[in-house]
Amino acid sequence: MKFSLSWLKQYLATEATVDQIADTLNAIGLEVEGIEDPAAKLAGFRVARVLTAARHPDADKLQVLTVDTGEGEPLQVVCGAPNARAGLVGVLGLPGATVPANGLVLKKSAIRCVESNGMMCSTRELELGEDHDGIIELPEDAPVGTAFADYHGSDPVFDIAITPNRPDCMGVYGIARDLAAAGLGTLEPIAKVEIAGSFPCPVEIRTDDPEGCPAFFGRVIRGVRNGPSPQWLQDRLKSAGQRPISALVDATNYMMLAYGRPAHAYDLARLNGAVVARRALAGETVTALNEKTYTLDAEMTVIADDAGVHDIAGIMGGEHSGCSEATTDVLLEIAYFDPERIARTGRKLNLTSDARSRFERGIDPAFLDTGLAHLTGLIQTLCGGEASEVVRAGAAPATPKVVPFDPALVDRLGGVSVPPDEQKRILESLGFVLAGPAADAAWAVTVPGWRPDIDGAPDIVEEVVRIHGIDKVASVALPRADGVARPTATSAQKLERRVRRAAAARGLQEAVTWSFLPTPEAEAFAGGNGGLWILANPISEDMKAMRPSLLPGLLSAARRNLDRGASGLRLFEIGRRYLRGDAGASDERLTLGLVLVGEKAARGWATGKAVPFDAYDAKAEAMALLAEAGAPVDKLQVMDEAGPQFHPGQSATLRLGPKTVLARFGMLHPGVARQFDIDAPVALAEIHLDAIPPRKGAAGFARAHYAPPALQPVKRDYAFLVPAALPAGDLVRVVQGADKANIVAARLFDDFRGQGVPDGQKSLAIEVTLQPGEKSYNEEDLKAIADNVTRAAAKLGAVLRG
């Protein structure tokens, strides 16, 4: 929300400085994001008088001016403005000044071989208006030599962040009210304006959708003269970031920005029949003021006439019925719309506007008549015209909210002692009405209509503490037991930290993605997860589904990086995936997702072509991270059924037994890759950290002190003939478990199929590491171990190769 200091002072009588206002805004919860001082942009510009004007010797459209700057000798300036003449008082930009409109730094230069010492400026170049036909003409008595910033005056502009619960501060008057309550001045009351109509309203106005539009008020003003709005109004709108359009449109925007009350003006000549607030018909279309066409459905409220839809209610007007310079009769509309309906419609259409941001947060339902009267008076002041009687269709919610409140709650909940009299002053200055005592409290507090965020007594406590001063709340340390503090991290938190550090140490880059996904992307990874969680109130239509996997978010992040020229990516993320549990309960599971995209190694003299990632890279990362997480990786089985998102011939799962899946890995299915618009090869893995069984008798991840064995290890090689379909990992696992007292490791180092190996079989060579304990092995010991190995291998159909 942007507003100028002069606009604020229209409603707040104060002598406070800009810094004092900014400090107070921050203190009461209206965070100041920036303060723009227009005078700073005008540094280096000076009021100057043209002494002489002569034709440029080499250019018909240029003149050579001598300009009095009030200091020293007159300067020579080349100027092409048609109104440049001797005696004119204007604005001269001196060398070194920066032109606000285009950022040009002025310097002494030669124009067509004639020296020029600066530039005479137009209003557009100084961003003071749209006039660019000539240079600024100031009054003849303007003080020559004065800095133009001092002559023009400074009107600082505040830019503050409005939290979603404060719709009352989406108008300058609401901000002034808060500052007055904080003691920074006196709030000017809203003037009571009553404009009696001089003729019956010629247009039928009604609401056929009382749920979406409970109240719809309007009146006609005939005989208006539309045109540019006055400079003061244009300056106010520009300070708020709005572009002045015409007097009629600017008047409605002024009402919205001043009081937080959106309204709309229709060109009466472009309407046909009754003007009605109703539900849209499925498939109806409307071209909005942003020149885009929107298709509506039956859950949306619109303003229409007999010819069709003219307005997406509470969000944006239609292009067809907008006011123009030719408009002579207007219909003013001011209404109350259901906030939830406005929010849902805006999300469905992916359409934002200043009106939507106010209606969906909640506006004051009691401001309809007052707002319409003020808007009528402003338009008549700017454009003339004769107003009709007001037509009121429906009624806005009128039952005030009354909250029982005990002043002692401020001390108990807020942690600061505020006298009851001061609490009463604060609340009444914010518009609350106090009566009492209530049935179960000291006061019965009536909440003003512009504060829909106030639901109960704790909200009133917040208001008192906010205005009294949050900085006055004493900092009190939480109680704690004597002695050394005990660790508070849970085992899941420790696991998450450990795995995150391990992934980063392996060269993976952490990504943080949304927990919400577009529905098609979520459905691509929802197989077997019991359905998706679809949000009833999403941030946007592209964030409706809770993620069933971390992989879609990582794939989208990878695509964005590839689109920006990345050749290879190693991304990971640790977070929750959201599944449907029993009886529709939410089932959140701690998961690690990783995506390897593009080139694993760039092309070079040693590798030749660039080396892409493959499924074994994803498996290696998954195994390493599972080991860091404390999973028994030596017992893991490699099995299929990684899921339809993976390439069926280049993927697998890592399991403890047939049912407990700890991870799935492999190459991305080509169809899913096309859905995410990724052309590069993608290897990916998903580790289910919540499925890792806890270590028996182990406290967290503490490791025993490393003590190297006294004797050197012994290595023995075994070559087995096995069926060709037997996974090598199964044989390695069986061999390593053949003699747990002596075998500490087993590793496959050869897989041979060819001459000397029978058809339907393969030769697998395994290196076995033995670790002697108290004494070295003798021949009998080694033979016994070898026998154990061959017997265990025989259970899988393996025969020791001769």
The encoded tokens of residue 319 equal: 């292009």
pLDDT tens digits for range 212-242: 999 999 999 999 999 999 989 998 998 898 9
pLDDT above 90 (res 801)? no
CATH of the domain at 31: 3.30.56.10
Q: Is 279 helix (H, G, I), strand (E, B) or coil?
A: strand
Range name among 259-263, 301-305, 490-494 with the lowest pLDDT average: 490-494
φ, ψ of residue 250 to 5 degrees: the values are -65, -35
148 and 166 belong to one structural domain? no
CATH of the domain at 742: 3.30.70.380
Flag whether 690 is marked binding: no
227 and 243 belong to one structural domain? yes
pLDDT above 80 (res 579)? yes
Tell me the C-alpha distance between 375 and 367, whole Å. 12
Tell me the C-alpha distance between 520 and 543, whole Å. 11
pLDDT tens digits for range 448-505: 999 999 999 999 999 999 999 999 998 888 887 788 877 788 888 999 999 999 999 9
Instruction: Give the amino acid at 661.
Output: V
375 and 239 belong to one structural domain? yes
Tell me the C-alpha distance between 318 and 296, whole Å. 13
Q: Is residue 599 part of a domain?
A: yes
Region of 300 on the Ramachandran plot (φ > 0 left; ψ -120 to 50 alpha; else beta): beta
Tell me the C-alpha distance between 241 and 354, whole Å. 11
Q: Is residue 198 part of a domain?
A: no
pLDDT above 80 (res 701)? no
pLDDT above 90 (res 12)? yes
pLDDT of residue 507: 94
CATH of the domain at 101: 2.40.50.140
φ, ψ of residue 341 to 5 degrees: the values are -65, -40
pLDDT of residue 609: 87
What's the chain's average pLDDT?
A: 91
- How many Cα atoms within 13 Å fall on the side-chain side of residue 62? 17
For residue 752, name the pLDDT band (cuts at 50, 70, 90): very high
Tell me the C-alpha distance between 322 and 333, whole Å. 12
Q: Is residue 16 part of a domain?
A: yes
pTM of the model: 0.68
pLDDT of residue 782: 93
Q: What average pLDDT does the segment 405-411 reach?
A: 93
For 58-82, give the secondary structure using H, E and C.
Answer: CCCCCEEEEEECCCCCCEEEEECCC
pLDDT above 80 (res 3)? yes
416 and 540 belong to one structural domain? no
757 and 678 belong to one structural domain? no
Percent of the chain with pLDDT over 90: 72
Q: Is residue 731 part of a domain?
A: yes
Could you say which of 327, 360, 394 is where a domain stops?
Answer: 394
Q: Is the dihedral of CA 549, 553, 556, 562 positive or negative?
A: negative
For residue 584, name the pLDDT band (cuts at 50, 70, 90): low
574 and 458 belong to one structural domain? no
pLDDT of residue 651: 94
358 and 303 belong to one structural domain? yes
18 and 82 belong to one structural domain? no
The encoded tokens of residue 565 equal: 């020229």
Flag whether 453 is marked binding: yes
Flag whether 291 is marked binding: no
pLDDT of residue 560: 94
Give how far Cα 449 sits from Cα of 6, 165, 253, 357, Å.
Answer: 27, 13, 21, 17
CATH of the domain at 216: 3.50.40.10
240 and 366 belong to one structural domain? yes
CATH of the domain at 651: 3.30.930.10
Instruction: Give the amino acid at 568.
Output: G
Q: What average pLDDT does the segment 148-171 reach?
A: 90
Q: How many helices, marked H, and strands, marked E, lie in the chain?
A: 20, 41
The encoded tokens of residue 210 equal: 């009382």
Residue with tokens 């991305």: 668
Q: What is the dihedral of CA 604, 608, 610, 612, to 10 degrees?
A: -130
* CA proximity to 397, closest of 434, 450, 352: 450
Q: Is residue 221 part of a domain?
A: yes
387 and 409 belong to one structural domain? no
Tell me the C-alpha distance between 676 and 670, whole Å. 10
pLDDT tens digits for range 35-74: 988 778 888 999 999 999 999 998 888 999 999 998 888 9
Q: Is residue 482 part of a domain?
A: no
Q: Is residue 147 part of a domain?
A: yes
pLDDT of residue 529: 47
For residue 587, name the pLDDT band (cuts at 50, 70, 90): confident
pLDDT of residue 750: 93
pLDDT of residue 698: 52
74's CB contacts (< 8 A; 6+ apart) are 51, 66, 67, 68
Q: Which domain holds residue 94?
A: 40-152
pLDDT tens digits for range 93-120: 999 999 988 889 999 999 999 999 999 9
pLDDT above 80 (res 582)? no
Q: Is residue 701 part of a domain?
A: no
Could you say which of 369, 394, 419 is where a domain stops?
Answer: 394
344 and 315 belong to one structural domain? yes
Could you say which of 394, 420, 448 is where a domain stops?
Answer: 394
Q: What average pLDDT does the segment 320-334 reach?
A: 92
Instruction: Give the amino acid at 291.
Output: E
141 and 160 belong to one structural domain? no
Q: Which helix (H) or strand (E) holds 323?
A: none
pLDDT of residue 697: 56
Tell me the C-alpha distance between 547 and 687, whole Å. 15
The number of domains in the chain is 6
pLDDT above 90 (res 322)? no
pLDDT of residue 440: 60
Cα 341 to chain center, whole Å? 21
For residue 211, name the pLDDT band (cuts at 50, 70, 90): very high
Q: Is the dihedral of CA 686, 690, 696, 697 positive or negative?
A: positive
Q: What is the dihedral of CA 368, 369, 370, 371, to 10 degrees?
A: 50
Flag whether 717 is marked binding: no
